[in-house]
Amino acid sequence: MIIAVAFIFVLILARFFYVQVVLGEKLRMLALPQWTREVPVIASRGKIVDTNGVVLADNKTSYSVFVRPNAVSDKQATSDTLADIFSLDAAALCEKLVAAGVSELTLVRHVGKELVEELEKHDLPGVYYARDNTRVYPYGSTLSRVLGFTAVDNTGLTGIEKYYEKYLAGENGEIAYPTDLVGVEIDGVATYRAATDGLNVKLTVDYGIQAAAEAVMQEVYEEYSPKTAQCVVLDPNTFDVLAMAEYPGYDLNDVPRDDPDLLNELSRNNLISDIYEPGSTFKIVTAAANIEEYLQGNSAAFSLEYIFNSSRTRTVDGTTVKCWSNHANGKHSHQTLAEALNNSCNPCFTDIALALGTETFYDYLDLFNFGKATGIDFSGEAQGMLIPESAVRACDLARIGFGQTVAVTALQLACAGAAAVNGGYYYQPRLVREIYSDDGKIQESIPVVLKNRTVSEEASRILASLLEGVVKDGSGSHAYIEGYRVGGKTGTAQKFENGAIAQGKYVSSFLGFFPANDPQYLALVIVDEPQGAYYGSVVAAPAAQKIFQSIIALKDIQPYE
């Protein structure tokens, strides 16, 4: 019996030790909500700023109000008072207060100080408030499809707000007041856990260039009534995104949350997430491949002096490729590569693609990263569409050569264009430069990443010179700026719907850069289904010119001698 009693006593002691020591901290944390009232200390969400520190997303102080039904002494009177202050339904609120099993209600979020001051006058038991933050965007619709927006609880839902949520969010703290079992506050010592504010995100975007691009896209939209007018501006030497503009946009301070379809349409970043057939802007890639192969001694490639067949058509696998021009009166005859670019003559680029052959041409498509994501720091990037090399036919290859039978994102094409004229360097594009704290310390830098080489520096230099000729003497003349060396290529692509050409529907575009001898800025303008005029040379090239002129004025870039 003594041994049995001793054994039981040891078991009881062991149990006491396990509960009080081993499980002690865990059980105290589980019990904490039962004998405390926690008032949240809301962390301040990090700011989003442009590359120069211009604040694009910020916070303003607001308040959230909470109710503990068990601590409310007069539920009907409390409901009436709260409904009067915050414009709520008193009957519905009272039903929630009397409902069983509800320990706490969030009454309202993001209310102003004046309403909280009115609440304080009534000193309602079981009702308390905490400081909160309301997300604000000082420039309204600026960069709306890139910045994104937050939920009611300030969690990032789209765009940069979502992608960099783990940095921006911070961690909430709390103040715990002692209460009795029903939640009524009693005397005792409150405990405080401080909030950790979120970190700030610095973009590569330049607000001045962004504002200029958005203004031009609005002008294009108002003049040609397209579905959308879009533009992406890159630094060709790093692939930093300097601007991403799309019109129409929406005011980030007045998000249309009650219309999901409209919100999805307006908040979608089409420059990253949607694909289209690029048309003649793709000829930049075809020309780059040909020049590099010629320099490498490939006898199938065409020299810069080669004169292409002046026929308006090419027939491949029973499919006829036509030039947009009728070639009457000697037009497009005796064309070199430079003149084929100037005239945007489809048959010449069909000749190049077929001469290089599927294997070689697809090697270049891979180097220019078509058919795969660029890796930009943004959710929802599309990969484009490229026929598998094993399945491509000669007629497909012929059309890919001038930008049909291939689909790309605007960002993919802009990056490919930059890699073709910057010396042949393909970088991973980025929207964010660094993450930093309020004291200015950099917590994380997003590096510039070189992914691969596309063509040699000599081939790139030759191509840039040829594209300068397109602006000076060819189809891109509406992008010409006196005193500045602008290069580029126009595009006018017919749209396909349900496997057939959609009559009267076009995508007009222009990919341009300057200075042509040392590219510092590259812009791709895309206008989807413009009404009236539809040629890229008429619709998109002038828009790019205006954007470049704005950059010249903003950065005080002097003309060349």
Just list the catalytic residues: 280
Q: How many CA atoms, within 13 angstroms, populate the side-chain half-sphere of residue 269?
A: 27
Rounded Cα gap, residues 378 and 375, in angstroms:
8
- Provide the H-helix boundaries in 38-138: 75-86, 90-98, 113-122
Q: Which residues pair with 156 in a beta bridge?
A: 150
Rounded Cα gap, residues 431 and 56, in angstroms:
14
Q: Would you give the distance in Å from CA 303 to the centre of its chain?
A: 40
Count of helix runs (H) and strand runs (E) in the chain: 20, 21
CA distances from 400 to 284, 290, 307, 496 (A): 12, 14, 21, 15
Which has the closest alpha carbon to 397: 440, 349, 344?
349
Per DSSP, 292 falls in state: H
Per DSSP, 43 falls in state: P
- The answer to whether the beta carbons of residues 488 and 284 sit under 8 Å apart is no
CA distances from 217 to 220, 239, 455, 531 (A): 5, 21, 32, 15
Q: How many CA atoms, within 13 angstroms, populate the side-chain half-sphere of residue 210?
A: 24
Give the position of tokens 């008032």: 39
Read off the tokens for 158. 């789209």
CA distances from 203 to 57, 97, 242, 268, 287 (A): 11, 46, 9, 19, 33
